[in-house]
Every structure is written in C-alpha cells, then in structure tokens.
Amino acid sequence: MIADPERIREPVRAELARGENELVLSAASAWETAIKHRLGKLTTPEPLESVIPALMQRSATQPLVVTHAHALRVASLPSHHRDPFDRLLVAQAQLEALPVLTSLSGTPALPA
C-alpha cells in the first residue's frame, strides 16, 4: 500500500486517503514478511524491526494480534484457502468483522 500504491485500485486509494478508515496490520502479515525477508525474497533498506513499525506509524496503522480464537477459526475455513497465512488473515477478518485489502483484488471485501 505504501511502497507500491499503484497496485491498489484508484477508488480504494482515494477512500484510504480520506483517512476515515481504521487500518490494521495483522501480526501474521508481519510474520510472513519476516519469513520472506529472511529467505531473500524481500529486501529493505533497514532491519524489518524498524521498517515495519515506521511504516505503520506513517500510515496510522494499528497492530492486530493473533489470538487463540483466530488460530482455531482456521479449522473451519473451506479448503480453497490453502496458504496458512491467508487462512489466518481470513479467520481474523471473519472474527473481527474486518474487510481485507489485497493488491490482487484492490477491493476491500469481508471474506466468506
């Protein structure tokens, strides 16, 4: 969203720019980012421990912790959610009634 805003559709970027939405970043996303960084699939100018919090502060993004309820909800998801991180994000979105914004769809949606 910050590093490559063009991957988000313009109407969604405009909605986000209004500043009326609460943005959250799941600890699961930070975890997945850390794994990709460690594997060399993602590079950052500074350590992730400082980059992620700085980006969150810059975008007024709040942290979303992973709870046992989130982890357990994963068991009830349909099998088309195969990626473990995606499954956890969907579970969090369902339990917290949060829309999910991805660069793939560019459209916030509450997962089924």
The answer to whether the predicted template modeling score (pTM) of the entire model surpasses 0.85 is no
For 2-51, write each residue's pLDDT tens digit: 777 788 888 888 888 888 889 999 999 999 999 999 999 988 889 999 99
In the chain, what percentage of residues exceed pLDDT 90? 58
Please name the residue that has the structure tokens 């600890």: 27
Rounded CA separation 62/60 (Å): 7
Name the percent of the chain in helix, strand, coil, to the closest 5.
50, 10, 40
CB atoms within 10 A of CB 77: 17
Q: What is the pLDDT of residue 21?
A: 86
What is the pLDDT of the chain when averaged over all its residues? 87
Rounded CA separation 15/11 (Å): 6
CATH fit for domain 5-96, picks 1.10.8.50, 3.40.50.1010, 3.40.980.10, 3.90.1210.10: 3.40.50.1010
| Spans of all domains in the chain | 5-96
User: Distances from the Cα of 32 to the Cαs of 9, 14, 51, 72, 86, in angstroms?
Assistant: 23, 27, 14, 19, 10
